[in-house]
Amino acid sequence: MTWTRRVLAAHPSAPEGDPDDRLADGACIEACLAAAQACLTGADACLQEDEALDLRACIRVQQNCADVCLATAAVLSRTGSEAGPLIAALVEACTEAVRECEAVCARHAETYRHCVLSAEACLRCERACTELIRAWAT
């Protein structure tokens, strides 16, 4: 069990029984944090490139994506309330942010390894957000 899932399972409002009941929540939080880290580091790496001016759009998208991912992870970590419309909208917004970031970073993937890593983290985050939304629907 990952650290995130252990923390979620220890919360007083955690469902009784199997800690894997929070599997989708924990996976989404972890993916959001990983995407945020990759994007923050990726944006910083872009700033160090000789062609930093050509990477402005990529930097901006990565910074925005990191902020949305961090906010999503923070809100999902507050397990004391149901996943209402506001939280669902935030997870949807995160899904859109990582999709956009993945697309922009993929354009630079042949040249910059840090863009490959950001794109990969964003793709994993998109999948985790989608899975969480699916789990809420059941």
The ranges assigned to domains in the chain are 23-137
Q: pTM surpassing 0.85?
A: yes
d(CA 2, CA 58): 31
CATH architecture of the region 23-137: Up-down Bundle (1.20)
User: Quick one: CA torsion of 69, 19, 86, 73, rounded to 10 degrees?
Assistant: -20
- Single-letter amino acid code for the residue at 94: C
- 56 HSE (CA, 13 A, CB side): 2
User: Quick one: CA torsion of 12, 17, 23, 26, rounded to 10 degrees?
Assistant: 20
Q: What is the pLDDT along the chain (138 residues), one digit of tens a residue?
A: 788 877 877 777 766 655 555 678 899 999 999 999 999 999 999 999 999 999 999 999 999 999 999 999 999 998 766 668 999 999 999 999 999 999 999 999 999 999 999 999 999 999 999 999 998 888
